[in-house]
């Protein structure tokens, strides 16, 4: 497996285009992360729209720039909305991102994830190591926090990426991003990202925003990861705890210039 990264300048360009084009990102997400996801998308310059009911989710996915499908707090109604969105996204060529929250740990949602993957191929799958392992068929974690390290999931991530023809992003202290052939590792960030709810969920949404402005899913995943983790580093420097960190994260993300992102990015 090659570890050649796409040139960093692509990430600056991708971030610049998010700012310029304000892509419309449809979010079918959970009740915990919905507010912070919308705020982080707005801070990034994207336009969030939480259209998740089955009557409208399909029509909206056909016109959205990207779609996030996050399995955090499912209901029968929201699953129907997700199926409608994924079918319409596939038909319209709208890229979608799957965030299989707690896959492997809980049976119903693991089935929901597999059902969605059988309907259409996502551009990206984003989860922590436990979730990626759980989705790939291994043992799951105990919910949204990861009990397996991201490196442990690297092999499964590559297999999953190859099987579905998509990029798989394994979040952790070092983020591991792969399309099954190329690998990018991002070591930025701060432990407080795990002490604020919904940061991982928002990362999936940012990936959908970035994917809306580039066809290269690996560049999109890397750009979103860099943007959020670099903003987190800046935010942590001037915060006194997880509350002020969450506030500063929004300020930092809104202030993050494309040139700064490209200059500060260290990929492995």
Residue positions in the annotated binding site?
A: 50, 126, 171, 198
Residue 80 CB, shortest distance to its own copies, in Å, is: 10
Q: Is 31 in the site for its own copies (CB under 8 A)?
A: yes
**Strand duo 175-178 + 167-171: pairing:** antiparallel
Sign of the dihedral defined by the CA atoms of residues 164, 199, 152, 221, in that order: positive
Give, in order, the Cα–Cα distances in Å from 248 to each of 83, 159, 234, 244, 267: 35, 37, 8, 6, 24
DSSP, collapsed to helix, strand or coil, labels residue 37 as helix
Helix axis angle for 217-237 and 242-255, nearest 10°, is 130
Strand partners, 128: 171
Q: Is 215 in the site for its own copies (CB under 8 A)?
A: no
Place of tokens 């809104």: 254
Q: Is 48 in the site for its own copies (CB under 8 A)?
A: yes
Selected from 107, 137, 165, 187, the binder of its own copies by CB under 8 A is 107
**What is residue 197's DSSP assignment?**
T
Selected from 14, 18, 33, 135, the binder of its own copies by CB under 8 A is 33
Q: Is 113 in the site for its own copies (CB under 8 A)?
A: no
In the bound state with its own copies, the residue whose beta carbon lies nearer, of 25 and 166, is: 25
Q: Is 138 in the site for its own copies (CB under 8 A)?
A: no
Q: Is 20 in the site for its own copies (CB under 8 A)?
A: no
Selected from 224, 246, 262, 267, the binder of its own copies by CB under 8 A is 246
**What is residue 267's DSSP assignment?**
B
Residues engaged in binding its own copies (CB under 8 A):
24, 30-36, 38-39, 42-43, 47-53, 55-56, 59-60, 63, 72-77, 102, 106-109, 142-145, 194-198, 239-244, 246-252, 254-255
């Amino acid at each position: 497996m090659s570890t050649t990264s796409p040139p960093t300048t692509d990430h600056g360009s991708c971030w610049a285009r998010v700012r310029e084009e304000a892509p419309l990102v449809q979010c079918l997400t959970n009740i915990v992360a919905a507010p912070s996801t919308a705020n982080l998308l707005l801070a990034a310059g994207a336009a969030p729209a939480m259209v998740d009911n089955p009557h409208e989710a399909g029509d909206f996915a056909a016109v959205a720039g990207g779609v996030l499908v996050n399995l955090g707090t499912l209901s029968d109604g929201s699953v129907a909305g997700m199926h409608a969105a994924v079918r319409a996204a596939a038909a319209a060529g709208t890229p979608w991102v799957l965030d299989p929250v707690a896959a492997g740990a809980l049976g119903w949602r693991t089935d929901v994830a597999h059902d969605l993957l059988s309907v259409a191929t996502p551009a990206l799958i984003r989860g922590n190591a436990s979730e990626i392992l759980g989705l790939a068929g291994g043992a799951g974690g105990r919910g949204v926090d990861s009990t397996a390290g991201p490196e442990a999931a690297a092999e499964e991530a590559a297999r999953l990426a190859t099987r579905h023809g998509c990029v798989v992003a394994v979040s952790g202290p070092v983020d591991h991003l792969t399309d099954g052939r190329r690998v990018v590792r991002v070591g930025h960030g701060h432990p407080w990202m795990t002490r604020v709810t919904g940061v991982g969920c928002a990362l999936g949404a940012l990936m959908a925003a970035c994917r809306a402005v580039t066809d290269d899913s690996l560049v999109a995943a890397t750009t979103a990861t860099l943007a959020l983790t670099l903003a987190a580093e800046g935010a942590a420097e001037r915060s006194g705890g997880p509350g002020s960190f969450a506030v500063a994260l929004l300020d930092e993300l809104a202030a993050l210039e494309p040139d700064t992102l490209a200059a500060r990015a260290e990929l492995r």
